[in-house]
Structure 1
Amino acid sequence: MSKRYLLGIDVGSSSVKTSLVDADSGKCAASAFFPEKEAPITAVKAGWAEQDPQMWWNNMKLGLKKIMADAGATAEDVKAIGISYQMHGLVCVDKDLQALRPSIIWCDSRAVPYGEKAFNDLGADQCLTHLLNSPGNFTAAKLAWVKENEPEIFDKIYKIMLPGDYIAMRLSGVANTTVSGLSEGMFWDFKNNQVADFLMKYYGFDSSLIADIVPTFGIQSEVSAAAASELGLKAGTPISYRGGDQPNKALSLNVLNPGEIAATAGTSGVVYGVLGEVNYDKQSRVNTFAHVNHTAQQTRLGVLLCINGTGILNAWVHRNITPDVGYAEMNDLAASVPIGSEGVTIVPFGNGAERVLENKEIGCSVNGLNFNKHNKAHLVRAAQEGIVFSFCYGMEIMQQMGMDIRNIHAGKANMFLSPLFRNTLAGVSGATIELYDTDGSVGAAKGAGMGAGIYKDNNEAFATLDKLQVIEPEEANRAEYLAAYARWKETLNEKL
């Protein structure tokens, strides 16, 4: 009996990960990522960041070859393809669908002045009510930079696309995009449910630059004969799902409904929540995009909170305060101190300007330290509590936008490996935390199964999602958690 596999491709800036998921068991049969060391990012000038789209394709090919061999899969076994990708990048192609220049990726900041000028010229009300964000440093502003600084390249552009659109185009020979993708680039007008003509006109972009719009879930295109020959896939295999990395991580954790949250806490922290009505933060401290299941009939917006100073603080504490023990022992040390760290408060924002603080850069600070009372255990605990409190501070903005936060879904990795971190987050937020074993490429594969009709809905697609642990709020300690958080907010407000 032949297998039914779903192929997931996750195009990151550090690597491209591929996975084959058995459609029937829901389990990952094989996965690989290339390069095995971090992929290069070219910075011609300070603040610039570019990658060659051909590099993504080459790394995808290497991963695909390995997982097909590891799973013993044939071309006929692959029934659908899903793509996840690094958000906000710009790829420009000519009429032959060849990239005209390296991709300007998400962490490139050259376009900031172009976004800020548009925000000021068009007005906050126009931008926020239609785009739900400032044009900021997103894809539209990056294209404006190309238009002004590389006019000879701009004149040759046939279509613009995001990194995931590019991979889909290479697979199919067809250029298309999604509403979710357009929204993350600031090309989507939520008020009029169409391409943001007012911003296109402001920047002087012709509407023909926008590729055809296809559903996020559905048969978007099919693998071409040329790509099938190059990759060892079957011509006609459907490409049936596409999502940016943060919306896709939420999908991977089965976060699709209002009030649900997907959280990650690595070097930086991300909280991504689903909103069931069109809304925005008037101070643009969080970003709002169309979630993967957003349609004209059903509003599903992804509210993205990114905090730079999270896990990087915990790593700094480990390196400089407890270098002689592992992270597990460090967590035990922190747990030996009462909730609230007996008055020590750490504000964790030492990794650059924070959008949640309206782009202020206030640095990291240790407060309330008593040399006769406190030791390194207090500092370790206060650091983890400070990271949790920064999450909760951002989540309050989401609640002000109308989000009722009841569940936080996360992968069991990074800071979520710490019981203290998990219990504090549940204790302050009052939300139940569910930890899962999944990743972006597996989520993209299951998204492909939904889009191709192999799964009838998300509940069937994620029925086999491994729930590793559930953390309920500790009601007995809730008052102590909230008191510590209130003291942290007082300290933060003094510095703002």
Structure 2
Amino acid sequence: MYLLGIDVGTSSVKVALVAAGDQRIIATAQYPEKEADIISVKPGWAEQDPNDWWYCVQQAILKITSRYKEEAANVKAIGIAYQMHGLVVVDQHQKTLRNSIIWCDSRAVELGEDAFEQIGKDKCLASLLNSPGNFTASKLAWVKQHEPEIYSLIDKAMLPGDFIAMKLTGAVTTTVSALSEAILWDFQKQQLADEVLAHYQLDLKHIPELQPLFSVHGELTKDVATLLGLSTGIPVTYKAGDQLNNALSLNVMRPGEVAATAGTSGVIYGVSDQLKADSQSRVNTFAHVNYSENKSYTGVLLCINGVGSMYRWAKQQWAPQLSYQQLNQLSQTSPIGSKGLKVLPFGNGAERMLTNKYTGAQMLNISLNTHTNADVFRAVQEGIAFAFRYGLDIMRSNGLDPSIIRAGLANLFLSEVFAQTFVDVTATPVELFDNDGSVGAALGAGIGAGIYKNEQEAFENLKPIKTIEPRNSRDYEPVYQEWKNILTNKLNEFN
């Protein structure tokens, strides 16, 4: 008996085939091999074509099913993880009407800020646990205001994972967790956020059918099953945003537990049992995968838009011929503090933790006689780690102070410089796991299908590869404070 997990990321789609019995990873695949493009026709805009995601899903699945035909014939459930906060709109024939406005797009910021004022800040923070910001509901409102001809054709508005589930099954569903990340869930009333719908004058019929997160969200159609080398009728039993899914895949399910990831974006995600919001909506609270009316487990999410994208940009500019592994080794030759070079890694849209300000990425204190490529790549990694510390301090001010953080050994955590800097500057140990979002989605599907009794059984074999302890916190503190002063001065320019 096997499980299939799909992780629809910004840069690629990953798929995993997992043995249900012992959670062994049978095979993984990725498509495309190179990072997918983001369409940005104006500064601060970010779009992708949902049909490209679907094509990538097909290609990644076929990589596995073409080699593991017997196992593919015994897949019992499918799970989906996806890039959060994107907007996908389709007509009554389930055809996309425009590109997806994805998570790092900033065009709806002003609409969200106006909604925050008009609905009432206290009401939003108490009921929505967030400002409407530039989240999915605000993006849909932007389409209504600026593209009325498209809005008039909308049958359903959904998140990226809902779209992929629709392509697999023909069914369109959503969850409380998904609605909360769209800022369309009222935690006090335990229902759709009618104040947001009313303020934006959004049509209720556009909202998909509400289903429990761990439940059947449709079954694989005959045509799609034949196309992908799978069996007809396999249920999709789990859908979750990528950061919630990352937490699930690290077994971060109980209050006080914290996960981190450093992919295209950077995230610290902690589980809470308090319906609490940051007063400035710098960190955001959503319904966790195990949220229920009787168990108000929420995920407090700090997001930094420009993490992996900042490192990729630096690579393209200074050393496109080198691999990331070579860059990581090169950066080890630069000392702590990168000889005074400082990087603000905020070049991928308005940052929520900076109260939706867009500073742009910046490199400061450049010495033409001193700095080398090694210093550049270390400074970029340090700047990213400092951004994590800045955000974690906001989370700490809201009562979430982790004693340890769990992360997958992937992306920037593959760099010894970044991983140790992250630990040193936050003064918090990190446990690293050999895990993957697509594997987590597969195990989530097992929970949703009832193959596992609970999440503890699904992750009973999860063990850390290693733990990184703080070594240089004292040396890094003054370097971080210098970086923070630069950021503070930049933010003051907006005021």
Q: TM-score, length-normalised on structure 2?
A: 0.86
Shift of residue 170, structure 1, vs aligned partner: 2.5
Cα distance, 1:382–1:253 mapped onto 2, change above 3 Å: same
Q: Distance in 2 between matches of 1:225 and 1:311?
A: 38
1:140 is matched with which residue?
137
1:361 is matched with which residue?
359
Cα distance, 1:406–1:226 mapped onto 2, change above 3 Å: same
Shift of residue 178, structure 1, vs aligned partner: 0.6
Aligned AA (1:290): A
2:332 is matched with which residue?
332
Cα distance, 1:492–1:67 mapped onto 2, change above 3 Å: same
2:188 is matched with which residue?
191
2:386 is aligned, of 385, 389, 392, to 389
> How big is each residue's C-alpha offset from its partner over 1:166-193, in whole Å with a ceiling of 9 and x where there is no partner?
2212322222101111111111112222
Matches within 5 A, 1:357-436: 357-358=354-355, 359-361=357-359, 364-366=362-364, 384-436=381-433
Cα distance, 1:124–1:77 mapped onto 2, change above 3 Å: same
Q: Distance in 2 between matches of 1:79 and 1:55?
A: 26
Matches within 5 A, 1:122-161: 122-161=119-158
Cα distance, 1:415–1:190 mapped onto 2, change above 3 Å: same
Does the CA-based 8 Å contact 2:173-2:211 persist in structure 1?
yes
- Percent identity among equivalent residues? 51
Matches within 5 A, 1:95-244: 95-244=92-241
Range with bigger deviation, 151-160 or 35-44: 35-44
Does the CA-based 8 Å contact 1:307-1:354 persist in structure 2?
yes
1:465 aligns to 2:462 (yes or no): yes
SS in 1 for 2:267: strand
1:351 is aligned, of 347, 354, 363, to 347
Matches within 5 A, 1:8-19: 8-19=5-16
Aligned AA (2:69): G
SS in 2 for 1:285: coil
Does the CA-based 8 Å contact 1:322-1:330 persist in structure 2?
no
Cα distance, 1:449–1:150 mapped onto 2, change above 3 Å: same
Cα distance, 1:332–1:94 mapped onto 2, change above 3 Å: closer
SS in 2 for 1:434: strand
Shift of residue 452, structure 1, vs aligned partner: 1.1
> How big is each residue's C-alpha offset from its partner over 1:306-360, in whole Å with a ceiling of 9 and x where there is no partner?
22454566667778889999334424323xx4x6678x37252452554322215
2:62 is matched with which residue?
65
1:493 aligns to 2:491 (yes or no): no
> How big is each residue's C-alpha offset from its partner over 1:194-236, in whole Å with a ceiling of 9 and x where there is no partner?
1001111112223232221111112333223444344343333
Cα distance, 1:332–1:347 mapped onto 2, change above 3 Å: closer
Q: Count residues with an aligned counterpart.
A: 486
Q: Where does the alignment leave 5 or more consecutive residues of structure 1 unmatched?
A: none
Does the CA-based 8 Å contact 1:114-1:145 persist in structure 2?
yes
Does the CA-based 8 Å contact 1:331-1:418 persist in structure 2?
no
Shift of residue 248, structure 1, vs aligned partner: 1.4
Aligned AA (1:327): L
1:446 is matched with which residue?
443
Cα distance, 1:202–1:384 mapped onto 2, change above 3 Å: closer
Matches within 5 A, 1:220-299: 220-266=217-263, 268-299=265-296
Aligned AA (1:361): T
Does the CA-based 8 Å contact 1:17-1:34 persist in structure 2?
yes
SS in 2 for 1:294: coil
1:24 is aligned, of 15, 18, 21, to 21
Q: TM-score, length-normalised on structure 1?
A: 0.86
SS in 1 for 2:17: strand
Does the CA-based 8 Å contact 2:446-2:458 persist in structure 1?
yes
Aligned AA (2:278): D
Cα distance, 1:162–1:313 mapped onto 2, change above 3 Å: closer
> How big is each residue's C-alpha offset from its partner over 1:447-479, in whole Å with a ceiling of 9 and x where there is no partner?
1011112122222222333522111234xx544
Shift of residue 397, structure 1, vs aligned partner: 0.7
Q: Distance in 2 between matches of 1:139 and 1:236?
A: 31
2:82 is matched with which residue?
85
Aligned AA (1:304): L
Cα distance, 1:455–1:185 mapped onto 2, change above 3 Å: same
Range with bigger deviation, 114-123 or 437-446: 114-123
Range with bigger deviation, 152-161 or 314-323: 314-323
Aligned AA (2:330): M
Range with bigger deviation, 171-180 or 427-436: 427-436
Aligned AA (2:101): I
SS in 1 for 2:67: helix
SS in 2 for 1:220: coil
Cα distance, 1:208–1:309 mapped onto 2, change above 3 Å: closer
Does the CA-based 8 Å contact 2:88-2:163 persist in structure 1?
yes
Cα distance, 1:375–1:140 mapped onto 2, change above 3 Å: closer
> How big is each residue's C-alpha offset from its partner over 1:19-56, in whole Å with a ceiling of 9 and x where there is no partner?
21111231221222233444455556565444443333
Does the CA-based 8 Å contact 2:332-2:374 persist in structure 1?
no
Q: Distance in 2 between matches of 1:379 and 1:385?
A: 10
Does the CA-based 8 Å contact 1:331-1:419 persist in structure 2?
no
Aligned AA (2:53): W
Aligned AA (2:289): V
Matches within 5 A, 1:2-13: 4-13=1-10
Does the CA-based 8 Å contact 1:15-1:35 persist in structure 2?
yes
Does the CA-based 8 Å contact 2:332-2:378 persist in structure 1?
no
